[in-house]
Amino acid sequence: MPVFGLGTWRMGEHRERFAREADTIRAALDLGIRLLDTAEMYGEGGAEEVIGDAIRGRRDELFIVSKFYPHNASRNGVVEACERSLARMACETIDLYLLHWPGSVPLEQTFDGLRELQARGKIRDFGVSNFDQADLEEIPAADRDMLGCNQVFYNLAHREVEWDVAPWCRERGVPLMAYSPLDQASGLLRSAALAEVAARHDATPAQIALAWLLQRPDTVVIPKSAQIARIRENFAAVDLRLDADDLAALDAAFPPPAGPVRLGMR
């Protein structure tokens, strides 16, 4: 799985923007981005349709992640949801298929459906999203170590996952996939500490925030942008390396949790 991907939240919501959004995705692929993250919830399938247009003729070079609603998480429901997503993206396989957030359907049913999809070649791997430790412990024991990832709200300003979720996942070799890694709503990118580190590297605050996440163990980032210049800027974070002084300065400005804390979600 690539460590850097493009998120597609809010894409596919307006039909008149589909062509422009598909062009943005194609431009991102031309830059070298190989992971695309989407969900049946985004635009109620519209984002998957945009992806289907954008990846035509290029599917084999890509790693596609999609997510299904909790109300589609029954054994048959997850199979049917997957078939709809595949049809919208005009492809035969989803590389990583995730339960979008915990719901009321017993997880035994959900994972039965996921294993069926895997056996039929409809998905290559499966996982979860927005699961805190208590939710992770509810996953059938046989499936816990097989999770392809736990996709979570994670950035410098929101490090809740580091208390118990990240250690749980790391112990089992389960990657974290960080969505909203720049958390613009919190004012993260206006941080003086982040600007100081960025200046030392001749980089932008966004690049430093992404580089910080990329240096966390087993962590993937999926920032979303509709602007190709911003996507190019974000992608350059892959080549940045923060030193011990940088990391210490960021820890001081954005300390990890000091006790149990509920996992954030956006």
Give how far Cα 222 sits from Cα of 1, 31, 119, 236, Å: 12, 15, 27, 13
The alpha carbon torsion through 12, 15, 18, 21 (nearest 10 deg) reads -60
Name the one residue in this structure whose structure tokens are 């580091």.
162
How deeply is 26 buried, as exposed, middle or buried, from its count of CB atoms within 10 A (0-12, 13-18, 19+)?
middle
Helix, coil or strand: residue 57:
coil
Are the C-beta atoms of residues 4 and 235 closer than 8 Å to each other? yes
Separation CA 76–CA 88 (nearest Å): 19
CA atoms within 13 A on the CB side of 19: 1
What's the token pair of residue 252? Answer: 């001081």
Separation CA 196–CA 207 (nearest Å): 13
Strands 5-7 and 123-129: unpaired
List alpha helices for the chain, DSSP H: 18-31, 46-54, 75-89, 107-119, 133-137, 141-144, 165-171, 192-201, 205-214, 228-235, 244-253
Q: Which residues are catalytic?
A: 42
Separation CA 230–CA 224 (nearest Å): 9
